[in-house]
Amino acid sequence: YAQDKKWKIGFSQVTTIEPWRAQFNKDILAEAAKHPEVELIITDGEDKTEKQVADVENLIRQEVDALLVSPKESAGLTGVVQQAIDAKIPVFVLDRNVDTKDYTQFVGGDNALIGRAAGEYAVELLGGKGKAAGNVVEIWGGMGTQPAHDRHDGFHEFTDKEPGIKYLLDQQSGDWKQDQAYNLMANALKSNEKIDLVYGHNDPMAYGAYLAAKDVGREKDIKFIGIDGLPNEGVQMVNKGELTATFTYVTPGAEGLRQAIKFLNGEKVEKTITLPTEKITKENAAKVLKDNGL
């Protein structure tokens, strides 16, 4: 059946259970459907570094023409990505990076920019520049990932200038998961009578924190900021008033595959493609939902 298939492209996805990952795979499959000359093989790392390393090794053995990879974490995936590069397979790193720049291209959002936008908005919500005050809970994504560090650094560029802002958790990671964020927040609520704002490094974690607050009747006292802004997830939560804001983080599925095909067809591609972001609040959430047919 593969006779009309000119290119075999492998995509190593870290996990498929998180909503953003499901959307990512949907996006890449929709793009693949437009290219009958492409055979796309998607693997599921089941959110484990060892499994994802084995997946990439497997794709290398299958002699894919190009490898797309969205890593669980940077350090653990760097070796096997280097292996693909050494095997002369063009590598497209998507969303989370690895500790080498020898790949063909990186496609993803600008997490430092998103972090800054979130920090600027947090300052506004807490009283404005020079006057902002309040207790902030930050729930980190995976510690071994660049997006979590960039989302942290960007945020603090704004909030650290405000002496009135206090931080209640010290580098606590929810590993991008709603249930882990729920537990962190439940503990924070127990030990702190006053929490004013939660910054979750993604929407599932911001929502987990919201649920923990709701379970003790304190959700109305707290602002919740997340990141991802999927129409059927974060945007809905903002529209319902559960989250105060989210910042869209477009999946690199469609663009990543287009770029790989472009490269395989002999065209030049840029080293980095940066995907755009948008702030979603109660003001524009309904319109965004409508634009997405929801």
**By CB under 6 A, residue 147 contacts ligand FRU:** yes
Name which of residues 170 to 209 contact ligand FRU (CB under 6 A). Answer: 176, 202
Count of alpha carbons within 13 angstroms of residue 63, beta-carbon side:
0
**By CB under 6 A, residue 138 contacts ligand FRU:** no
**By CB under 6 A, residue 20 contacts ligand FRU:** yes
Nearer to ligand FRU, 65 or 176 (CB): 176
Question: What is the rounded distance in angstroms from the CA atom of residue 278 to the CA atom of residue 204?
Answer: 18
Question: What is the rounded distance in angstroms from the CA atom of residue 169 to the CA atom of residue 37?
Answer: 50
Report the SS3 class of residue 7.
strand
Contacts of 86 (CB under 8 A, 6+ apart): none
Nearer to ligand FRU, 90 or 208 (CB): 208
**By CB under 6 A, residue 27 contacts ligand FRU:** no
Question: What is the rounded distance in angstroms from the CA atom of residue 116 to the CA atom of residue 13?
Answer: 27
Question: What is the rounded distance in angstroms from the CA atom of residue 249 to the CA atom of residue 227?
Answer: 7
From residue 102 to residue 131, the character string flagging contacts with ligand FRU as x (rule: CB under 6 A) and all else as - is ------------------------------
Work out which of 32, 90, 96, 256 binds ligand FRU, going by CB under 6 A.
Answer: 96
Report the SS3 class of residue 201.
coil
Question: What is the rounded distance in angstroms from the CA atom of residue 274 to the CA atom of residue 20?
Answer: 18
**By CB under 6 A, residue 233 contacts ligand FRU:** no
Nearer to ligand FRU, 27 or 95 (CB): 95
Structure tokens at 152: 């942290």
Work out which of 9, 11, 13, 18 binds ligand FRU, going by CB under 6 A.
Answer: 18
Site residues (vs ligand FRU, CB under 6 A): 18, 20-21, 95-96, 141, 145, 147, 176, 202, 227-228, 249
